[in-house]
Each structure stands twice: as structure tokens, then as C-alpha cells.
Chain A
Amino acid sequence: MAELRMGLALFLLLNILAGLVRVVLGPSLTDRFIVAQLFGTTGVGVLVLLAAAPGQAALRDVALVFALLAPVTVVAFVRFAVGGEASERERR
């Protein structure tokens, strides 16, 4: 069972690496940014899988913190990368 969990964690890590292709290809800023959400979800999956190993229970709390902080990046992105531009357009 431990081998299965490690294998799945590695597999999820490969998914994150595959997501980097979308960051490179683009084409727009939003396309690049949504991969951050993929990193969040899949990273939480990796942490949860690793936390099941004996002695690594603290990683489950790390996963909880990841899950709580992931939306902050999105709000910051929308507020500063997109909201700023829109407010400039409104000013004109």
C-alpha cells in the first residue's frame, strides 16, 4: 500500500510538470494563470498522499494550509493583473 501511495504521488507530480507546458504555450495571461490552480489542487493531493506514510502526519496540516492559501493567489491575480487594467479603462 505504501508503494501505491508513493507511486500515485509521483504520478500527480508528473501531472504538475505536464501543466508547465500550458504555462509555456500561453497564449494569454489567464491561460498561464489557471495552471496555478492545477498546481494547488494537485499539490494538495501529493501532500495528502505523502502524509499517510508513518511519521509524516504533519504534512496533512501543510495540505490544509495550502488549501486555505490557494484562493489568496487567485484574488491577488484578479485584483492586480486584471482589475487594474479594467479600472484604467473606466477612467478613460
Chain B
Amino acid sequence: MSALLDGVCAALMLAGAFFTLAGTVGVLRFPDVYCRLHALTKVDNLGLGLVVLGLALQSGSWATALELLLVWFFVLISSAFTCQLVARAALRRGAAPWTGRRPP
């Protein structure tokens, strides 16, 4: 049972690391600031959530697990607000959204 739990936790944390890598690749490769924000605030939070879930499952105490989930909850709220604020700021500064067409 303990070995099974360890395996599940390791798989969750590795998946979290994979999604964090996907978020970083998105930030580096996506064409404009809105796409990058999208990669950053969605995929990275999923990655952090999976890491936190893996750690909370193997932490062994309810208080620790709840604190870990609270950390994730705050990061989720903060990036929801961040995405909105920064996207509006970029639009106000005049960043044109990417449409997939080459400029003429």
C-alpha cells in the first residue's frame, strides 16, 4: 500500500514537472504576449497543482496537506487576477493580438 502511494505521488509530481516545462516552452516560443500569458497562467498552475497534490498525499498529516492546498489556492487566485490585469495593460500599451497572419 505504501509502495503504491509512493508510486502515485511520484507520478503526480513528474506530471507536474512536465506541465511546468510545457509552460516554460510556451512562454519562450509563443508569438505574442497574450499567448504567453495563456501558457503561463494556465499550464504552470496545473503543474504546481500536480506537484502540490503529490506532496500532500505523501505528507502524512492533515495540517500539512491543507497548508499545501492553501498555497496552491492562493497561487490560482493570484494568477487569475494577474492574467486579466497584465493582458489589459498590454492592450492599453498598444500590443496587437496575434492573428496568425503575416504582416503585409
A-to-B contact residues, CB < 8 Å: 1, 4-5, 8, 11-12, 15, 18-19, 21-22, 28-31, 33-35, 37-38, 40-42, 44-45, 48-49, 52, 57, 60-61, 63-64, 67-68, 70-71, 74-75, 77-78, 81-83, 85-86
Contacts and interface: CB of A to CB of B under 8 A. Distances in A.
Contacts, number: 141
A61 B79 CA distance: 19
Interface residues of B, number: 47
A49 B92 CA distance: 38
B8 interface: no
Interface of B: 6, 9-10, 13-14, 16-17, 20-21, 23-24, 27-28, 33, 36-37, 40-41, 44-45, 47-48, 51-52, 55, 58-59, 64, 67-68, 70-71, 74-75, 77-79, 81-82, 85-86, 88-90, 92-93, 95
A88 B44 CA distance: 35
Contacts of A37: 40-41, 44, 79, 82, 86
Contacts of A29: 93
Contact of B24 (A38, A40, A60, A77): A38
Q: What's the dominant secondary structure at chain B's contact region?
A: helix
Given A18-B28, A30-B33, A34-B33, A49 B55 contact: yes
A54 B31 CA distance: 43
Contacts of B47: 41, 45
Given A28-B33, A52-B55, A45 B68 contact: no
A74 B90 CA distance: 13
A64 B63 CA distance: 14
Contacts of A21: 28
B48 A15 contact: no
